[in-house]
Structure 1
Amino acid sequence: MSRLLARTSGKAAALFIRRFNSLSDKVTNLRLRLALFHDFIYGTATSIWGTAVWTRAVGNSVIAGSTVRAAGDGFAQAKTYIASPDYGALHALIIGIDGYESKKIQPLRGGVYDADAMDKYLREDLRVPAHQILNLRDRSATRSAIIRELKALARNPSIKPNDPVLIFFAGHGVSAKAPPSWESGSGIISMLAPYDCFGTESNGKTILPIPDRTIGALLHEIAEGRGLTGTGKGNNITVILDCCFSGSGTRSIERSSVHLERGFRLDSSLSVPPSLDDEIWRGPHTSRAIDPMTGFTMSGLSSHVLLAACRELEQAHEIDGRGLFTSALIHALRLGEINKLTYKGLMRRVLRDSSLKDQIPQCEGRYINRVLFNNADSASGPWAIYPVSRTHLGFTIDAGSVHGITRNDRFLVYATSGCSPDDTPLAIMAVTTVGAVSTVLSLGSELAQDIPIPCFALHSFRKARSLRLHLACWAEPGSILHTLRTQLAQSELPIVFRENEEEADLTIRVRDGHIEYTMEDPVTISHRLSKPCMTTAADFRQVQHVLQAAARFFWHFTRSPESRLIARHGLRVRIYELCEDLDAGLDNNLRVQLKPHGEDLNHLGVVSIEADNKTAYGVAVESDIGVPLHVWACYFDCGDLSIKHYYQPPACGDRGEPALPAKGRLTIGFGDGGGSPWTYFVAPGRDTDVGYLKVFVSTQPIDLSDMAQCSPFRIDGSMERGGRELVHPPKEGWEVVTVAIIHRKPGTDPPSLYT
């Protein structure tokens, strides 16, 4: 009788939905609410990695609504919320320049308009108090004024630590030859042109543009404070630059007279002296760095998120007195839900603007996964969210096997990106085809036309490799582990039990009334090192939390491409101890430059280092492949099951530039490749630790920012422990290279790496 009732109700609901399909969006919303109510009464529970979702068939499709109680686990999961930023605490410096004092510089028409538009958005949309916004336009935007106001942000007592700070510039950018001792991989530096650029100072010297080194030092000072400038404001800083550094600074002959480029190259008759602004950038800077080597964390793109109008070698354009980038940016901001929108999500919105076909805006920095103007990361947990597009293949997302997607996975579909598994989805899509960096999703034809484009797919169900778990001495009825095994067998966790430690990923024991976890790492076993152990209380909730993290850890740790397309053509990862390069000056991020010291430490995929938490180490990725590659690196800590980003490209997104040149080399932590050098340490009470550096490379842009996870053993959630020639595009593919890193307590003997 219950089955008949469910079938009858399903048919009635389907007819009800079809009749309402032609009505307004309000009725569509009502339909979903009714579906959720119906599911609650007649639905069936389907576990999606720990979240119970009530599902009901509608034609060949499924609509779902979620509850907060996980099936079979016996306890309720708390719903995750993202705290709304306090826009009333935001302070901003808004700079816009059209007319320049020097006749050598082509005037613009949209710099002031864009700055005014940003000022209006802050005041009217975000309700930022007007007295917290400092505006500089044309004559007031002199070199000294811009530097003065940037310094004032660092000294302003009204700005508390972690308050949001916004710096906006619309005007001309400048590129120039790097002066001697200013490290630059390309030999070129980027600069901002103030109103009085190329004017004359009182001492007769030419007023030069403001170099990136100076801007970087001032941003660093805002973030951390220096000397008597006051307490550091933290890294909740957003920098928006609507300019370029490779334009001509003149009207384009091929374009309308109202189409201008916002950038030019410094005339060869002028040079940048090595001492320019050295009173600003030469001073020592403190740092809160822990894992990355001290002095590097807040340098460069660790102190702020940068939203730039275009790539380094592209031009930023304005048409009819408006900057294309700023117009697209403000439009994207006004689409709503910015209290849930990350910087990366914002840039996805911007890139959909068709007016930007000749320039590709960039989103750069360590914190691009933060919610806008908020110092907290997006509370999306392990859930990955991807924009959905409709192609001739069907519904498509720009993520594939390199991201961990498999043919049996499921995605919840939402109208907006600010979603979580606890929200009611529009539908559930199944994976049809998985490529290296793209996936085709399918949906029943009954609802296919109702899905808005763009929409967003949340990776909800993963047919992951099961965690191989060994429970030591579990067989005694009534014992803690016997009860635990019974509970785990009834749960939805992807676990398979192993009777021998050698066949397991993780071993659980009971010791002194607590649960002890031991990772069965092959390097630890083969080199006869002590196994890392962590403990929790003998509480099923805590055990489940650890095992969920362990399942995710081993899933990402063990996966590799089905076809080793790239590896067989030559890919090497070298690891070096680093030392200061005494013959080189500071780089553009005010960092002491480092260089390799000694030979490559990587012996057949294993590195043994003395972990004194002082010595810096860097990585070089070398390729013999004839196409450039995109690189992402993560560090897997076997001691606490955390995954942290070791290297990520400075600009993430669908159109990011590859970091590893064709038949070239990418350096991480030294040279001009970017990234931080790292130090290593041994956990208290241990002589050795083991972790794995996994370097992912791909022929297409990849974004693996969702791979990171905190240790399940850290209550505070911290991440510590890391005539045009026909050109054929490269075949899609990805690869991963894994290097084991053994941390040795100073004074202990290194294991043999050749046994």
Structure 2
Amino acid sequence: MSASQSPFALLIAITQYKYPIQYRKLHSPTRDAEAVSQYLQEEIGATPSRIRKLYDSSATRKAIISELKYLARRKDIQKDDPIIIYYAGHGCEVKAPKGWDDAGEYIQALVPHDFNESNLDTALPDRTIGALLAKIAAAHGDNITVIFDCCHSGSITRGETSAAHGNIRGLGRLEGIISPQIDEEIWADVVENHRGLNPQQKHHHSSLRSHVLLAACSAKEEATEYSSGGAFTSALLKELYSVGHSQVTYAELIRRLPLIPGQNPQCEGHNAGRICFDSKPPVPKRQWFGIKTGTQNGRVFYKIEAGTAHGITEGAQFAVYPTQTPLPDEAPLVHVVASVVLPYQSIIKPMSGPPYLILTQKFAAQTRAGTKEDLRLFIPKNDKDNSSFKVVYDTLEAMSEVQVDQADPAPAPVITCTKKSKAELGVLLDGSRLFIEILDPLITVHGLTRLQYPLPRQIPLAASFLRAAAHYHRYLHRIQGTSGLLDDIKIEFTELASDGNGFCKPTGDNMIGAGVVDIPVKEGVFYGVKITNTSNKDLYPSVFFFNALDLSIDSVYECAAARTGKVDSPLPAKGCLTIGYGSGGSEPFDFCLSQDVEVSLLKFFIADRYVDMSHVAQRSAFEKRGGKEGEGLHGKEDAWCTTVVSVVQRRPTN
């Protein structure tokens, strides 16, 4: 990291509170903050002048707000410079004030040094924190990392300590209410400047896009500390020192943490897939799946922890390695193929090598997609040596010969078709240029018939495009509707309006009709989505926009990443999740056109357990891409489903 990109940091740590009789003294927040400061200076090159500290009596409510405002207006911070905000101390939960309909029943807050329970307005609500973070992002970019070593759990009893005499960094759910107008001067103008953005999120303090949050535990768990330091901060720093911040994404970092009893650290944010403290998107990486043994009817078999919900189909091939970090030239132990695929698990069989090879505690990386995942490409009948289409044939031949690199995600194969009716895309000669014709009726029915740009003539660029196109169609057409879960899901797409308090609310009827939303695009009009779960199961949705014009896939909503996969359900039984307004924590949708008609597919992946979908999103296809033993096989009660809403954008007619 260059000197100009060395980080700016605000470290907040409260070991002693102003009212010690009410709020027990913590052991080690300032020790943790100093350890973070040391790491930032030694490993990332932060200078002392760029690290601001608020410890104990200096960490008042007024001072914390003032320092966050100062971060937003600092002139020496360049766009996308790393900004780290660290907090260690108590958190709490209070009933949402009247009129905060977007917040849910309860809100979460940080507990400043001068907090007094007789006046809950002395807490720092998530809405305020989120608005301040949004202002920092608006001024300096979204390379912001927020680390909270605290908890808000309603299960905490005042004065309680955790295992082995550790303290809990949280006050739990407090009685009373805060003022509906608290800090309105901070969050009201954020909404005005950010087109209706709600700066808060159900679990933690913000828009999903302004920053990445690393949290000590899930919403109902407790953050523990000992005299040596907070359990979360200690584990986080140990792993950062071990692996190096430039070698791991935020989500990977959280998953690599050692087991912390009673805590499942969480990673939230649109940019959770970025390299830590870096604004650049990472080179796509291979997904790794753990291997276990199973028994059924006395028969022992191997299974991977991935199934149809992860995009695996019968015939998918994997390379097996002893670790998730093989050397560049390391050969796999064996190649295996998926023979039986269930929602979250698949039986695998060796393709080569000894059948008795012990594969438990090994890791599998997909090397080839299975059946029903090919991108079907129509090429007009022509002499194969004709220069018009030669680049396409040469590219396909080159792709078939390339050894899949360990750093690349598993490619979906491309096959050619002689009939247009069986293909998703076709090659179209227009003058001297080759364009890609859209043949998928899901899209052509709305009048969109070709992609935005011509096919590159250089083989590496054409191959990159075809791999991206295959990835796009693989996930667009990945369907599951046999679980019955779809009957318990209601999806609404509505226009948004101001609620009179500076936040958005839905207005008008559900715009979805027969699976389509038809929008005459107008400037300044914004939209949101509501997913309602009428089932008795907690659900885990992931939502993506598939742009049919350039084959990009934009993440709209993804569940948080967690160390063990134990993630808070964002769509609880009999509950709902809003996207673009309310407590969902993401920006509202708005649209602009580059031509008369554009089509995007809003796709919902919904499962009854957490599924990592971080590998789905991609940039435009025209941009060059980087490239327990004894368990049985379970699946009968597993449920997941998909559904697609076509969002058609048109120029309004006069």
TM > 0.5 between the two? yes
**Structure 1 pair 199–632 and aligned structure 2 pair: CA distance change class (3 A):** closer
**Structure 1 pair 114–602 and aligned structure 2 pair: CA distance change class (3 A):** same
Query: What is the CA–CA distance in structure 2 between the aligned matches of 1:415 and 1:334, rounded to whole Å?
Result: 23
Conserved? CA contact 2:465–2:623, under 8 Å:
no
**Structure 1 pair 142–345 and aligned structure 2 pair: CA distance change class (3 A):** same
Question: What is the letter of the counterpart of residue 659 of structure 1?
Answer: P
What's 1:745 paired with? 651
What's 1:305 paired with? 212
What's 2:290 paired with? 388
What's 2:622 paired with? 713
The one of 603, 606, 611 aligned to 1:702: 611
Deviations 1:265-324 (A, max 9, x none): 4753x542233333333334676x8xxx67569962321111111122222122345321
Deviations 1:667-718 (A, max 9, x none): 322343443331234332xx32222222111111012111112222247x89
* SS of equivalent to 1:109: coil
Among the aligned pairs, what percent are the same residue?
A: 30
**Structure 1 pair 374–358 and aligned structure 2 pair: CA distance change class (3 A):** same
Conserved? CA contact 2:208–2:586, under 8 Å:
no
The one of 214, 232, 251 aligned to 2:159: 251
**Structure 1 pair 529–306 and aligned structure 2 pair: CA distance change class (3 A):** closer
Conserved? CA contact 1:514–1:537, under 8 Å:
no
Query: What is the CA–CA distance in structure 1 between the aligned matches of 2:142 and 2:446, rounded to whole Å?
Result: 42
Query: What is the CA–CA distance in structure 2 between the aligned matches of 1:706 and 1:315, rounded to whole Å?
Result: 30
The one of 555, 566, 571 aligned to 1:645: 555
Conserved? CA contact 2:394–2:459, under 8 Å:
no
Aligned length: 619
**Structure 1 pair 301–468 and aligned structure 2 pair: CA distance change class (3 A):** closer
**1:104 and 2:104 correspond:** no
What's 2:6 paired with? 89
Map 1:284-303 to 2 at 5 A: 284=190, 295=197, 300-303=207-210
**1:168 and 2:86 correspond:** yes
Query: What is the CA–CA distance in structure 2 between the aligned matches of 1:663 and 1:285, rounded to whole Å?
Result: 29
**1:627 and 2:544 correspond:** no
* SS of equivalent to 1:301: coil
Deviations 1:402-439 (A, max 9, x none): 2212343334456775679x564554542445332234
The one of 432, 439, 449 aligned to 1:520: 439
Unpaired segments of 5 or more residues in structure 2? 201-205, 296-300, 401-411, 627-633
**1:207 positional shift:** 7.3
What's 1:71 paired with? none
What's 1:360 paired with? 264
**1:608 and 2:496 correspond:** no
Structure of greater relative contact order (alpha carbons < 8 Å, 6+ residues apart):
2
Deviations 1:708-735 (A, max 9, x none): 12222247x89xxxxxxxxx99811321
Conserved? CA contact 2:13–2:30, under 8 Å:
yes
**1:369 positional shift:** 0.4
The one of 602, 605, 609 aligned to 1:693: 602
**1:596 and 2:514 correspond:** no
The one of 573, 577, 600 aligned to 1:662: 573
The one of 348, 371, 386 aligned to 1:478: 386
**1:672 and 2:578 correspond:** no
* SS of equivalent to 2:235: helix
**1:479 positional shift:** 3.9
Question: What is the letter of the counterpart of residue 377 of structure 1?
Answer: P
**1:348 positional shift:** 0.3
Structure with bigger gyration radius: 1
* SS of equivalent to 1:488: helix
CA RMSD between the two structures = 3.5
**Structure 1 pair 336–651 and aligned structure 2 pair: CA distance change class (3 A):** closer
Query: What is the CA–CA distance in structure 1 between the aligned matches of 2:254 and 2:322, rounded to whole Å?
Result: 17
* SS of equivalent to 1:701: coil
Compare 507-516 and 473-482 and name the one that shifted more. 473-482
**1:242 positional shift:** 0.8
What's 2:276 paired with? 372
Conserved? CA contact 1:340–1:378, under 8 Å:
no
Conserved? CA contact 1:239–1:305, under 8 Å:
yes
**1:397 positional shift:** 5.0
* SS of equivalent to 1:279: helix
Map 1:17-32 to 2 at 5 A: none
What's 1:544 paired with? 463
**1:198 positional shift:** 2.4
Question: What is the letter of the counterpart of residue 282 of structure 1?
Answer: A
Query: What is the CA–CA distance in structure 2 between the aligned matches of 1:419 and 1:616, rounded to whole Å?
Result: 47
The one of 244, 263, 267 aligned to 1:337: 244
Question: What is the letter of the counterpart of residue 312 of structure 2?
Answer: I
**1:255 positional shift:** 5.2
Deviations 1:482-511 (A, max 9, x none): 564466357528333323322221121221
* SS of equivalent to 1:148: helix
**Structure 1 pair 484–655 and aligned structure 2 pair: CA distance change class (3 A):** same
Conserved? CA contact 1:630–1:699, under 8 Å:
yes
**1:154 positional shift:** 2.2
**Structure 1 pair 271–133 and aligned structure 2 pair: CA distance change class (3 A):** same
Query: What is the CA–CA distance in structure 1 between the aligned matches of 2:56 and 2:507, rounded to whole Å?
Result: 47
The one of 397, 422, 430 aligned to 1:511: 430
Query: What is the CA–CA distance in structure 2 between the aligned matches of 1:521 and 1:344, rounded to whole Å?
Result: 34
Query: What is the CA–CA distance in structure 1 between the aligned matches of 2:492 and 2:571, rounded to whole Å?
Result: 14
**1:655 positional shift:** 1.2
Query: What is the CA–CA distance in structure 1 between the aligned matches of 2:380 and 2:370, rounded to whole Å?
Result: 27
What's 2:186 paired with? 280
**Structure 1 pair 126–390 and aligned structure 2 pair: CA distance change class (3 A):** farther
Question: What is the letter of the counterpart of residue 745 of structure 1?
Answer: R
Deviations 1:648-672 (A, max 9, x none): 2255661112222324433322343
**1:216 and 2:125 correspond:** no
**1:152 and 2:66 correspond:** no
What's 2:629 paired with? none
**1:182 and 2:90 correspond:** no
Query: What is the CA–CA distance in structure 2 between the aligned matches of 1:210 and 1:126, rounded to whole Å?
Result: 30
**1:501 and 2:428 correspond:** no
Conserved? CA contact 1:249–1:260, under 8 Å:
no
**1:136 positional shift:** 2.5
What's 1:79 paired with? none
**1:448 positional shift:** 5.9
**1:518 positional shift:** 0.8
Query: What is the CA–CA distance in structure 1 between the aligned matches of 2:244 and 2:431, rounded to whole Å?
Result: 49
Conserved? CA contact 1:106–1:249, under 8 Å:
no
Question: What is the letter of the counterpart of residue 168 of structure 1?
Answer: Y
* SS of equivalent to 1:300: coil
**Structure 1 pair 372–387 and aligned structure 2 pair: CA distance change class (3 A):** farther
What's 1:683 paired with? 594
**Structure 1 pair 621–729 and aligned structure 2 pair: CA distance change class (3 A):** same
**1:211 positional shift:** 1.9
Query: What is the CA–CA distance in structure 2 between the aligned matches of 1:372 and 1:378, rounded to whole Å?
Result: 10
**1:197 and 2:115 correspond:** yes
Conserved? CA contact 2:368–2:413, under 8 Å:
no
Unpaired segments of 5 or more residues in structure 1? 1-83, 225-231, 587-591, 719-727, 749-755
* SS of equivalent to 2:418: coil
Question: What is the letter of the counterpart of residue 467 of structure 1?
Answer: L
**1:263 positional shift:** 1.1
Conserved? CA contact 1:87–1:128, under 8 Å:
no
What's 2:408 paired with? none
Question: What is the letter of the counterpart of residue 518 of structure 1?
Answer: E
**Structure 1 pair 730–166 and aligned structure 2 pair: CA distance change class (3 A):** farther
Question: What is the letter of the counterpart of residue 287 of structure 2?
Answer: I
* SS of equivalent to 2:367: strand
Query: What is the CA–CA distance in structure 1 between the aligned matches of 2:608 and 2:489, rounded to whole Å?
Result: 13
